[in-house]
Structure 1
């Protein structure tokens, strides 16, 4: 596949609605993302969509308050970072607000699988809850909800995943993606939905003068909201940008839970200049490792720890699990890329398949999503990686490319071939599914055919950039302005640029990364640069040299108190690469 560089267009050089004091590069970046006024950049809490506009909130508050005094509330979360932050926040908030009994339970993915299954309800029932509150799951758990209701347990679902044709018969459902919802954002993460519910609970308690002095304010949980939102890679629309920005501010000020502080210490990320990237690449992988390799209970306990000492002990366990995850992932990635090479037909020619399915009986269930993501980045088309889930079942994790809605792809397959998929769920860019092992080959063909129907709408071969920078703009000042202009993320992408550079020197560092000294063509100006994960672990390293087209981001490299500019190189392309 020949990659194309597609430059985002600002549409206009400046906007009267944006401040003239903005760095000119940052102004161009905002314009290219459709921002036309300063109000759109307002990240104050006052800009959040009103709590009462999310459907189901009043009924959810009523249900929760019914169980405040004499009930037992059991929070059931997902086993990823979004689920862990949602669970910890719900437990912390309700406990602070006078709920008599609050506990949590998170399914072990290897024993119970995803969501509120009948089996996890049976386990939950041993704790005698009067109310189950799901966070970041539940919308596809019709059987589990029915089991809970049959046992006389009330159920409140808070979720953000896309619903199927049949909704669970829960007492109350809060989900911005329900059909007919008029809420102004469908991009809330699970932790965002839970935050809205809790904000409404606190308001009702305050109105009734039922909160004690010193009770937590919902804003105190924005550190958890920011972490869960960033980790789940949901689109950073205006509402989510407020949530993330406010959470980052709290963490920078040192006002975060001890668990986040301990994880930042282990990741060697200072909190004073924290960015969303520090959460995404420093904290989230360590937290997610618990759910991938062991049990997310330890991750939630870390976020619930009230002392730095307790948090550090739990964070150390998470760090150990993350090292195990990295070793497993490295092996699986080598095997997956080897499998992709075998799919090329014939020899070195382009991969013929539109959608790729990969499976090895030795692969780890908790890591297939990471492998699917890595391979997707390499082949630039949708990938599903499968692992065994018992003797006869496979669990798959799917990752997609822009323009191909992976959950809709699975939905179409389920409609055309109702016998193939046992269950599935997810979003536009990521999904999970279960199917019988014997049906994998048939499913792989159906997946390839269905993705092919979408290919004309996809931009899998496109690399979006914000164009070239003038040599004078490649500067520490610009990098600092862009960092301050965030948060950046899905649907509000971090600024990236392209340009012609000459590679003056290159060397391998850390086995897979390439450290370079690059010179802007015909300028005499050279810069420090690094390309992460550029070297294939199973191949003899081939270092870049001479003139090349680079796609890169500007970064502030902080070392021993000194700040320097560094280019983060995402792509090294031959000169003359197609550009739109």
Structure 2
């Protein structure tokens, strides 16, 4: 689908003129809604206080009593990167705080389903390992039945989550969730690992006030590498609070103060820790961690984050890397099948339905979320992909476009068609659901009708937001470093993109689907390197000698040397 380059609207940055910033950064920050230099303060003192969380006092005191009384605590996590980092953080912090009986359980995507279910409680009972207290991380806000079953067994539950709640809340001992009604925490754009971090911080203060620590209590900053990884991998918007957490976590990783497992994953991926960017957390570390939950057992990923021994960390990281390569192969095959199915419909761009609802009996249920993301990126439509989930059920994963809150849309569909969905949950941009295999056609019709009602056609026109042209004297390696240091960039605070007209001096395909370029800049004698990933090889290379490019500046490291490279996101022949 043809994309359009659109210039990003924004003020001129006058409000930041007194902040001593580079004029280019002033321009970029103003276009992202920064109106005061305090919004660029990423010191820990600028973090929102945990007291704003509804239920925090009860949760912290309940956990503190469990620690001081030597009770058995089981963490119930989720099978994605946010859940893995949340679980690892909770286990590490509780153990450092002096809890001697800490375990974790992560449901299997394939046999248990999502979150704290009655089945998890029954499994723990059958194993004779029922704890005194269950702490959910990155899940639990919809676990009404699981919390009730735990209560029947005499197990108390503290829920920590960030997903949107339903009309009612589970009857837990305490619930900490920035999106629950009545919560005063200033932002709901909070990853599960961040909620866990705040809960552990409040627990630390409770234990310190009770005189529990014989020595100075552990510093919570030790866990910021996990917070940064989980936050970026879960693609939550990087508001000021999240940018602060990510900036602090990146600072620790770059300084070498990170978990052995993170260090091992970086080495396997060929990334140097001292040059790590927020995007590396999302596109390098996150997928390797997620691969365990998608294809096998997320315990592999959690153990990689927990392990202290460097050799064992390298072994576990290698296993995650292998799973990620397998995941990529599966995803590539599924994407080809989905695109072929769409091609068989003989739809041109003007006839595409407003939502793509795809279903294949042979698809891998652990990869349908990634499939939906890739199809959404290509066709700029909300996409819902279904795979068989066993017991006559289909599991679906939805990915949306900006401006359409997909979880709220699914909730409205459920209200209109009660009984069609077995369960659902999610965020503005991503959601999951289950339904019977006989209901997929009705679901497709219902969701298509709803999207037509809710979405203006302009929302489905793919655009690349650009920060405008970059003056030739700023096309330098120094500017690339300036932009890198001006982050962290990410969801909701996007990495700068520029556009302009350039000469194409050389074009060649590398790595089967990537276009390597030599780019001429008007008025400059020295050409620039460029790379466009995953291009349409039917269109490129082409005979054109000039093109309009949308691009990002990249400090490309190769064999110990750095060179400026334009990372080309879009090309329009001229």
Q: TM-score range by the shorter chain?
A: over 0.9
- Counterpart CA distance in 2 for 1:349 and 1:272 is 44
- Give the corresponding residue for 2:382: 382
- Counterpart CA distance in 1 for 2:172 and 2:349 is 52
Structure 1 unpaired stretches of 5+: 576-580
Q: TM-score, normalised by structure 2?
A: 0.96
Q: Report the alpha carbon displacement of residue 140 of structure 1 after superposing the two structures with TM.
A: 1.1
- Counterpart CA distance in 1 for 2:488 and 2:48 is 18
On the 8 A contact 1:18/1:37 being kept in 2, the answer is: no
- Counterpart CA distance in 2 for 1:554 and 1:150 is 58
- Give the corresponding residue for 1:531: 532
Q: Report the alpha carbon displacement of residue 60 of structure 1 after superposing the two structures with TM.
A: 0.3
- Counterpart CA distance in 2 for 1:393 and 1:122 is 22
- Counterpart CA distance in 2 for 1:122 and 1:258 is 34
- Counterpart CA distance in 2 for 1:442 and 1:161 is 26
- Give the corresponding residue for 2:424: 424
Structure 1 residue 542 and structure 2 residue 540: aligned? yes
What is the 5 A alignment of 1:460-475? 460-461=460-461, 462-475=463-476
Q: Report the alpha carbon displacement of residue 40 of structure 1 after superposing the two structures with TM.
A: 1.0
- Counterpart CA distance in 2 for 1:74 and 1:307 is 23
- Give the corresponding residue for 2:52: 53
Structure 1 residue 143 and structure 2 residue 145: aligned? yes
- Give the corresponding residue for 2:190: 188
Q: Would you say how many aligned residue pairs link Structure 1 and Structure 2?
A: 569
Q: Report the alpha carbon displacement of residue 2 of structure 1 after superposing the two structures with TM.
A: 5.2
Q: Report the alpha carbon displacement of residue 214 of structure 1 after superposing the two structures with TM.
A: 6.2
- Give the corresponding residue for 1:327: 329
- Counterpart CA distance in 1 for 2:18 and 2:124 is 53
- Give the corresponding residue for 1:508: 509
On the 8 A contact 1:290/1:298 being kept in 2, the answer is: yes
Structure 1 residue 245 and structure 2 residue 243: aligned? no
SS in 1 for 2:433: strand
RMSD: 1.6
SS in 2 for 1:432: strand
Distance 1:23 1:561, change over 3 A: farther
What is the 5 A alignment of 1:192-341? 192-213=194-215, 215-341=217-343
Q: Report the alpha carbon displacement of residue 468 of structure 1 after superposing the two structures with TM.
A: 1.1
- 1:111-140, Cα deviation, whole Å (9 max, x unpaired): 111111111121233312111100001111
User: Which deviates more, 522-531 or 165-174?
Assistant: 522-531
Q: Report the alpha carbon displacement of residue 13 of structure 1 after superposing the two structures with TM.
A: 4.5
Q: TM-score, normalised by structure 1?
A: 0.95
What is the 5 A alignment of 1:417-496? 417-456=417-456, 459-461=459-461, 462-496=463-497
On the 8 A contact 1:403/1:458 being kept in 2, the answer is: no
- Give the corresponding residue for 2:11: 11
- Counterpart CA distance in 2 for 1:535 and 1:79 is 34
Q: Report the alpha carbon displacement of residue 215 of structure 1 after superposing the two structures with TM.
A: 4.7
Structure 1 residue 394 and structure 2 residue 388: aligned? no
Structure 1 residue 38 and structure 2 residue 40: aligned? no
- 1:451-501, Cα deviation, whole Å (9 max, x unpaired): 112221863323211111111122211111000000011111111111122
SS in 2 for 1:109: coil
